[in-house]
Chains A and B, each alone.
Chain A
């Protein structure tokens, strides 16, 4: 018998379980081989260790441990019912091959992202609508870029007492423009329907109706919605005067 054989025998077997004939062969070999003799001694010591280890037991209070276990189970009773349901559900899924879960995951993810994309598109659409709505709802009496207003709507506004060079200055212009947009608002709201009502309104706000501003002028201005919007938008972007 060679050293390698002895090693294998000693490692793969419990020394007490080696058959007598093989054990004789091993013992014959170790008489002439110091290394294997040492290893044989170590195998015997190992047996001694495991034998001792098997005798060692934890010093536990078995009754107390039993009681603790049973108490824990009583507390966990509700969880057990829930777990039973989960167990049944997971049992139903057992026949499904593993790759099916992967496929399912891909499908769910795809649906999820498609749903997300749709939502994003809807949000984008709603944003556009909201922006348009906001544009339309910009109060007409808000502060605007007067230069643009003068150049684009000169024919209408010129009939009001507005001038960059008047003695009242910019504050007066501001007041008149504000009044002008209040006026257009009233038209939008259908609160001024006739030229008489317009005249009455202009007198009330201190303007001269003899300047010839008619409701047709204002309606014309309102029909030119794009021009009005452009002015108002520019105003909101530039921040005013």
Chain B
């Protein structure tokens, strides 16, 4: 099943129910918080996973995210959707984690292409179809790691997470125009990388 925000949030809880759960949490009701955790846990895990592409790190970041949500729930204001607020915390926790492991250079650009071994002749329609999950993760990870941090976050939230420009701008604390520009660069860079590894060739004006 394709995991996206709409089919989780709308199918399980109404905004009114979410508000009620938040109010209960403000009174210290952990059971209500448990319901919120179950409600958002999978989507938060997916977002974090698609930024880091590392299952080992995901559970720690998700746990840290919900602890922060619990600690700071009294700071939540109705000006933004609760889901957006949680994703904002999740993305910030992920960025923190990326910084902590920065020394390994795992999560930043300049990753080597050692995992990009496209020996099979692929067409645009069969791209990645021959790969198993691990190979796909490695390939997508390498493609996204070619991007700057902001480009990668924008690409993940919009093209993989189906978020809109405004919501992404709110989560990343940048302007909608910056989101658009970064999305455009992210798409271009990944496409150019695909052209390069597929050896399709492209003249300079396309770059």
Contact = CB atoms under 8 A, between A and B. Distances in A.
B194 A87 contact: no
Interface residues of A, number: 45
A43 interface: yes
A46 interface: yes
Contact of A38 (B38, B48, B49, B201): B201
Interface of A: 3, 7, 10-12, 14, 35-36, 38-39, 41-46, 48-50, 52-60, 62, 65-66, 68-70, 72-74, 76, 79-80, 83-84, 87-88, 91
A194 to B, nearest CB: 85
B87 to A, nearest CB: 16
Contacts of B139: 49
B58 interface: yes
A52 B194 contact: no
Interface in B102-119: none
Interface of B: 2-4, 28, 30, 33-34, 37-38, 41-42, 45-46, 48-50, 55, 58-59, 62-63, 66-67, 70-72, 74-75, 124-125, 127-129, 133, 136-137, 139-140, 143, 159-160, 180, 184, 187-188, 190-192, 194-195, 198, 200-203, 205-206
Given A35-B203, A35-B206, A42-B194, A52 B140 contact: yes
Secondary structure type dominating chain A contacts: helix
Contact of B190 (A41, A44, A49, A56): A49
Given A58-B49, A68-B63, 20 more contacts: A3-B205, A14-B159, A35-B202, A36-B206, A38-B202, A39-B202, A42-B124, A45-B191, A46-B194, A48-B124, A49-B127, A53-B136, A54-B4, A56-B140, A60-B55, A60-B58, A62-B41, A73-B70, A80-B71, A84-B74
